[in-house]
Amino acid sequence: MNAVTVDAPRGAAALAAVPGWWAGRAREAGLPSEWCDWRRALPAPPCGLPAAAGGSAGRVSGFALGEAYASGLSTESRRRFGRHYTPEPLARGLWEELDRSGIAIDAPVVDPASGAGALLLPRLERFARARRGADPRAALVAAATAFRGIDNDAHAVWLGNAILAAELLPFWARIPEAERQPLPAMLSCGDGLDVESAGAGVVVMNPPFGRASLDPAQRVRWSRTLYGHANWYGVFLHAAVERVRPGGGVAAVLPASFLGGAYYQRLRAYLAVEAPLVRLRVIDDRAGVFAEVLQETCLAVFHKGAEPAEVACSTQRVNGHTRTASLGVARLAPEAPGRPWLLPRSSSDRGLIRSAARLRHRITDYGWTASTGPLVWNRHKPQIVGDPVRDALPILWAADVGAGIVRRNPARDAQRWIRLRERDLFMRLSEPAVLVRRTTAPEQPRRLVAAALGRSELAGWGGAVVVENHVNVLRRADVDSELTPELLAALLNTATYDRLYRCMTGTVAVSAYELEALPLPAPDVVGDWAAWCLDELERNIRLDDLAG
């Protein structure tokens, strides 16, 4: 990835505050005033930054100092480079999950996307406490070999080295003045994807999020886990598994999209074989945390070389007060590791997950396929009109699809009709289908909003329509299938299936891939459901039925 520059005054101001902050930490460690100058212990900062002038961060923590720097980067820079500062509750929560995993925490601990070292700080604090009475020289040597961070932001690296080195000041103060050497720099500038060898005991990271533009050589390098578009965090996760030695662990702050998205199916299959997921903590109610990320965020721990086992699940709220709650355990289906992983998001999901995990059928087994609506409207602007001219077909937009009903939304009438060219005829839909909205808002109570487009509804639209690409189109090849359009739409609109869908994805998008992965029971159970009154389907579905 490219290097990052400080592009906002607040970022530079945070760095300028380091001298005063460092002097305060040095005094607390018992160092005399002449040894409280950071220049005695640390290398020079990157060119162009104020070295010792202005500002004081007082008694703030290293976490707060790092956060001040990260928040000083411009929004454009954070989005471009996928940089998201790790708040203290998440950094400590990630180490809690590692400690509970049973994985041996052996040195070195490596963070390949370290920023200012927030994820290394909790373990370094513990390291320093455990060696409080140890030989100070040995402690400094051990710290230098036990912790390593890599980042492409030279300013963050300098700041992180100051934050981490401050934890070692009590050891430094016990070394005779004539023998004091500069404190070890545990972070270095570099590319976190450069994997030298599988030598790390543990990898911890909050990797960059965002689409990765990989050249052909890079796509070959990471081909085992790539499918379609690449995301930086997926590439970093692959590299982390390679970097850690067998028996070690990878602990990461990640978007939850890897749990279900189509682009991550090879990554899931790779992880299931090489480093199974053993712990998952979903971050709930994260006000002010990763504000630019419209996905669920999670803390995930993977155990390299372990046999697939149960995944211990929990939630953590980060909204003023940090609270965690256990969700129990879940077992991932070993026969299809690349499929979306069904894992609980709340305590009420546990029974649903257990039952759904036993279901072996999908909509494809009932003759259905799912795809994205074919019309990308801005590619066909000259063909779209507001009046029903000759040979024009009506367009169905996401705003026209409600729960159980397709209804013309007047807000879309100015772009209601399209004149198809010969090469566009594949977009014409003249057979019954089920329509499902592709996008929802984070605060929206339902993920799945589906409606059956039966023959009578099609007739009301003139016999054929064109569906815009913010709608999923589910088509039935087998007209004798027990799963009728009306039944499928009704099922998708139940609270049961809405919860199931939420348990296999971490995004607000609803994809055709994940709709095809939704578990269904055997044909005899589906046949029983088809006999029920659709209006009563919601209350008639029971978890025991899903096990059928």
DSSP 223-283: GGG--SSEEHHHHHHHHHHHHEEEEEEEEEEEEGGGGT-GGGHHHHHHHHHHS-EEEEEEE
Structure tokens at 237: 């996760």
Phi-psi region of 337 (alpha: psi -120 to 50; beta: other; left: phi over 0): alpha
In whole angstroms, give the CA distance from residue 241 to residue 271: 8
| Residue owning tokens 């480093």 | 275
In whole angstroms, give the CA distance from residue 91 to residue 318: 12
Q: C-alpha 417: how far from its chain's center?
A: 38
pTM of the model: 0.90
Tens place of pLDDT per residue across the chain (548 aa): 444 455 555 567 778 889 999 999 999 999 999 999 999 999 988 865 554 444 455 678 999 899 888 877 766 666 666 567 789 999 999 999 999 999 999 999 999 999 999 999 999 999 999 999 999 999 999 999 999 999 999 999 999 999 999 999 999 999 999 999 999 999 999 999 998 778 999 999 999 988 999 999 999 999 999 999 999 999 999 999 999 999 999 999 999 999 998 999 999 999 999 999 999 999 986 444 554 555 689 999 999 999 988 999 999 987 666 789 999 999 888 778 889 999 998 888 888 888 898 888 999 999 999 999 999 999 999 999 999 998 899 999 999 999 999 999 999 999 999 999 999 999 999 999 999 999 887 778 889 999 999 999 999 999 999 999 999 999 998 888 999 999 999 999 998 999 999 999 888 889 999 999 999 999 988 988 888 877 778 777 765 556 44
In whole angstroms, give the CA distance from residue 35 to residue 480: 84
DSSP 156: H
Structure tokens at 301: 């721990």
The answer to whether the CB of 308 falls within 8 A of the CB of 276 is: yes
Looking at the DSSP bridge assignments, the partners of residue 355 are none
Structure tokens at 230: 């690449």
